[in-house]
């Protein structure tokens, strides 16, 4: 009968890739024309992508891709700040890292200015005082007016750019992929976008974002990485230092997947054969430190003998120190007693006060006790020097090394009190290789699952598909059919294998019987937003009526102004209602002024208000 072959183990190792500093490119010749070439910046919360909106060789992809972080020590100069790829390894500087984002909204304009300086410098822009190129910049869906105002102020006032255009990254990706699929505008669909800090449901109706029904879910890639880190640190408490956040992001990108049916997939992992076949073993760097346990009898006896010798040395040293201290104190007391014998009573009484003693009898009692203690200490010291291999510890002495065992310090327990196990007892085999491995099993699907079930991490909010169902319920059945006919997935957190199939299964369960829907994944979920912004900039030159904000419009309409286009937010101007001052009716004058009175007499009457209970104060002059 043929025996079954053991399953092949899948062993991986961390790449721990380190970034290299970005080169400073020269300004391309195509960008030196009279018509300035726009700069496209995808300002993402995880990664910033920047490049030129131009056609030809060298412009097919963004020139700069770097993490949206800055590291600067407290008190360091601005020039000493490290940006993005200038930081080879994020972990040693994790406590210094700062980002311009709070979730997905830019709030730290100082860091944002450093990011812009980095981008413009490395793209080869050497003009002083201004950047003579239009800027296409991404922003968060339903970006607060104050954040846009601060960003416009930074670009127009600090860099003096001629034009700025704002758009949503998910809409740019939607625009780019629809153009590749040859879909005729205006486009209608619903976008599921998941990035590093948050996820969004973005309905698009007739080519425009329906901002009223946009929803945000505060679960995305950073929460999944933190959840995976907590799971593995609880599972492997001996490797806390090796389970870093950067490595957890690598595990998510390279080893995680989305289960089509979460509970059914967990049942599969109960099978030992399935577990051995699918578990990913991550090999950690070898360390010679072993957490105790598996040593031979000879090694244990040798260790015991070393501990005994060390304890003997510690006790002998303590006895010598105590004997020396007692002898010094005895000499001081004897010197005070000699003052009494010599008749120096004043000095004798002053010395007693310093010693906190009341009489000569108390001094003599202390001298007798110290003489006895010194004699006993000398006897013990001589006895310990003569008797080798044995130790006698006084009950008053405390053990110095707590890790060496209290039993060896106590004279009531002989040396061989603990029975030794026979050498032929089978000891458990310690596998050094497996100790330095992380077994990543169900964590591969549990971490991406928080996008659909945030309650796994304790978040009290709806998942992505539950939020999608809530958004669809706000439309008519005809509009719902149009929206679900083009469900679009984009964002770096949507790149897990099986994500598209999971969304299709969830839609099948929530949609009516025999209804039609179509789910499409972005060609490059993490980069298509930049490509979409570049395509839009090529088709809409700067200075056009749609989508671009000029410096003149900024000065006239304010920093929160937004010129709408097919991939932008909806501009909702802030209306400040000025209160209209109405003059209350004058009540009849209660009294007439007398001949000798002042020409203007103020009479105050208070009328209680029926709604708030406040008093209406009216000034009556005559």
Q: Which of 485, 489, 473 is nearest to 523 (CA)?
A: 489
Sort strands 215-217 and 199-205 into parallel, antiparallel or unpaired.
antiparallel
pLDDT at 446: 97
Give bridge partners of residue 137 from the DSSP assignment. 41, 166
Architecture in CATH for domain 221-285+436-525: 2-Layer Sandwich (3.30)
- Name the H helices within 511-617: 528-539, 551-557
Q: If you search the block for the tokens 């590749």, which residue do you land on?
A: 180
Using CA atoms, how far apart are residues 143 and 236, in angstroms rounded to an integer?
41
Phi, psi angles (nearest 5°) of residue 40:
-105, 120
Q: What residues have CB less than 8 Å from 90, skipping those under 6 apart?
A: 67, 69, 97, 245, 246
The burial class, CB within 10 Å (0-12 / 13-18 / 19+), for 259 is buried
Whether residue 228 contacts residue 443, with contact meaning beta carbons closer than 8 Å, is answered with yes
Q: Which CATH number fits domain 29-182+528-557: 3.40.50.450, 3.30.420.40, 3.40.50.970, 3.40.50.2300?
A: 3.30.420.40
pLDDT at 375: 85
- Name the H helices within 130-199: 145-153, 169-180
Phi, psi angles (nearest 5°) of residue 13:
-140, 155
Q: CA torsion 248→254→260→262, rounded to 10°?
A: -30
pLDDT at 411: 44
pLDDT at 4: 53
DSSP at 324 = H
**Secondary structure of residue 333 in the 3-state scheme:** helix
Q: What residues have CB less than 8 Å from 383, skipping those under 6 apart?
A: 392
The burial class, CB within 10 Å (0-12 / 13-18 / 19+), for 105 is middle
Question: Are domains 29-182+528-557 and 221-285+436-525 of this chain identical in fold?
Answer: yes
Whether residue 490 contacts residue 171, with contact meaning beta carbons closer than 8 Å, is answered with no
| SS3 assignment for 77-96 | CHHHCEEHHHCCCCHHHHHH
Q: Which sequence spans correspond to the domains of the chain?
A: 29-182+528-557, 221-285+436-525, 308-381
Tell me the mean pLDDT per 10 residues along the chain, length 622: 59 92 91 88 97 90 96 82 93 93 95 96 91 96 96 97 97 96 92 97 96 97 97 94 96 97 96 95 76 66 87 85 85 84 82 81 84 84 62 39 42 43 55 86 97 95 97 97 97 97 97 95 97 95 88 94 95 76 60 41 40 39 36
Q: Which of 312, 421, 337, 326 is nearest to 373 (CA)?
A: 326
pLDDT at 388: 47
CA 476 to chain centre: 40
Whether residue 316 contacts residue 386, with contact meaning beta carbons closer than 8 Å, is answered with no
The burial class, CB within 10 Å (0-12 / 13-18 / 19+), for 98 is middle
Using CA atoms, how far apart are residues 617 and 418, in angstroms rounded to an integer?
94
pLDDT at 418: 42
Give bridge partners of residue 98 from the DSSP assignment. 70
Using CA atoms, how far apart are residues 29 and 4, in angstroms rounded to an integer?
66
pLDDT at 587: 58
Using CA atoms, how far apart are residues 172 and 485, in angstroms rounded to an integer?
19
Give bridge partners of residue 204 from the DSSP assignment. 189, 209
Q: If you search the block for the tokens 């015991």, which residue do you land on?
A: 304
Give 422-475 as a DSSP string.
PTTSPPPPP-HHHHTEEEESTHHHHTGGGGT-GGGGT--S--HHHHHHHHHTTS
Using CA atoms, how far apart are residues 228 and 249, in angstroms rounded to an integer?
9
Sort strands 64-67 and 47-52 into parallel, antiparallel or unpaired.
antiparallel
Q: Which of 489, 442, 439 is nearest to 464 (CA)?
A: 489
Distances 548 to 137, 152, 155, 169, 210 between C-alpha atoms, Å: 11, 12, 13, 16, 20
Q: Please, which contacts does 284-289 make with residues 24 or more away whose CB atoms are closer than 8 Å?
A: 284/14, 284/239, 284/242, 284/436, 284/437, 284/438, 285/242, 285/436, 286/432, 286/436, 287/436
pLDDT at 25: 93
Helix (H) or strand (E) holding 106: strand 105-106
Distances 622 to 203, 376, 508 between C-alpha atoms, Å: 65, 110, 80
Q: Which of 559, 609, 590, 598 is nearest to 155 (CA)?
A: 559
pLDDT at 401: 43
Helix (H) or strand (E) holding 325: helix 297-341
pLDDT at 430: 64
Whether residue 273 contacts residue 4, with contact meaning beta carbons closer than 8 Å, is answered with no
Token pair, residue 587, equals: 């009540």
CA 360 to chain centre: 71
Helix (H) or strand (E) holding 605: strand 603-608
């Amino acid at each position: 009968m043929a025996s079954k072959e053991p399953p092949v183990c899948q062993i991986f190792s961390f790449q721990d890739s380190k970034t290299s500093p970005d080169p400073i490119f020269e300004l391309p010749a195509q960008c030196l024309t009279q018509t300035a070439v726009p700069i496209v910046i995808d300002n993402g919360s995880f990664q910033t992508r920047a490049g030129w909106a131009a056609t030809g060789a060298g412009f097919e992809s963004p020139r700069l891709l770097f993490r949206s972080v800055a590291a600067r020590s407290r008190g360091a100069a601005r020039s000493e700040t490290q940006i993005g790829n200038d930081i080879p390894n994020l972990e040693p500087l994790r406590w210094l890292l700062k980002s311009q984002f709070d979730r997905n909204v830019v709030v730290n304009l100082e860091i944002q200015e450093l990011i812009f300086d980095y981008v413009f410098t490395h793209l080869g822009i050497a003009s002083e005082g201004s950047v003579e190129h239009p800027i296409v910049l991404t922003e968060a869906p339903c970006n607060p007016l104050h954040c846009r105002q601060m960003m416009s102020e930074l670009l127009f006032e600090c860099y003096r750019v001629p034009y700025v255009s704002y758009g949503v990254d998910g809409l740019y990706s939607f625009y780019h992929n629809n153009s590749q699929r040859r879909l005729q505008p205006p486009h209608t669909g619903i976008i599921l976008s998941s990035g590093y800090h948050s996820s969004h449901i973005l309905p698009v109706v007739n080519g425009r974002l329906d901002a009223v029904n946009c929803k945000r879910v505060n679960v995305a890639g950073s929460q999944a990485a933190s959840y995976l880190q907590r799971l593995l640190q609880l599972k492997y408490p001996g490797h806390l230092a090796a389970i870093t956040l950067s490595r957890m992001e690598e595990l998510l990108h390279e080893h995680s997947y989305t289960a089509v049916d979460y509970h059914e997939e967990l049942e599969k992992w109960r099978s030992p054969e399935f577990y051995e076949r699918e578990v990913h073993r991550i090999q950690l760097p070898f360390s010679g430190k072993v957490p105790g346990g598996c040593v031979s009898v000879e090694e244990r006896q040798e260790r015991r003998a070393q501990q005994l010798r060390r304890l003997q040395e510690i006790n002998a040293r303590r006895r010598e120190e105590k004997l020396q201290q007692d002898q010094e104190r005895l000499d001081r007391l004897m010197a005070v007693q000699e003052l009494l014998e010599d008749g120096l009573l004043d000095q004798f009484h002053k010395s007693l006060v310093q010693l906190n003693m009341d009489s000569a009898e108390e001094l003599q009692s202390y001298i007798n006790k110290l003489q006895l203690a010194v004699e006993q200490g000398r006897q013990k010291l001589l006895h310990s020097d003569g008797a080798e291999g044995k130790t006698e510890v006084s009950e008053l002495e405390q053990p110095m090394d707590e890790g060496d065992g209290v039993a060896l310090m106590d004279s009531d327990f002989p040396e061989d009190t603990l029975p030794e196990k026979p050498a032929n007892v089978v000891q458990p085999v310690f596998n050094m290789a497996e100790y330095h491995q992380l077994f990543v099993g169900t964590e591969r699907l549990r971490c991406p699952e928080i996008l659909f079930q945030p309650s796994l991490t304790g978040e009290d909010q709806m998942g992505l598909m539950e939020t999608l169902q809530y958004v669809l319920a706000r439309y008519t059945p005809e509009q719902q059919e149009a929206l679900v006919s083009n469900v679009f997935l984009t964002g770096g957190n949507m790149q897990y294998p099986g994500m598209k199939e999971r969304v299709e299964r969830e839609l099948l369960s929530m949609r009516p019987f025999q209804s039609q829907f179509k789910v499409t994944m972005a060609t490059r979920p993490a980069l298509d937003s930049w490509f979409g912004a570049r395509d839009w900039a090529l088709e809409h030159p700067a200075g056009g009526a749609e989508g671009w904000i000029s410096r003149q419009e900024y000065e006239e309409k304010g920093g929160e102004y937004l010129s709408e286009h097919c991939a932008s937010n909806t501009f909702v101007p802030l209306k400040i209602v000025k209160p209209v001052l109405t003059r209350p009716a004058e009540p009849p004058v209660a009294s007439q002024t007398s001949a000798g009175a002042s020409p203007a007499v103020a009479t105050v009457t208070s009328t209680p208000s029926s709604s708030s209970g406040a008093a209406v104060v009216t000034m009556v002059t005559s």
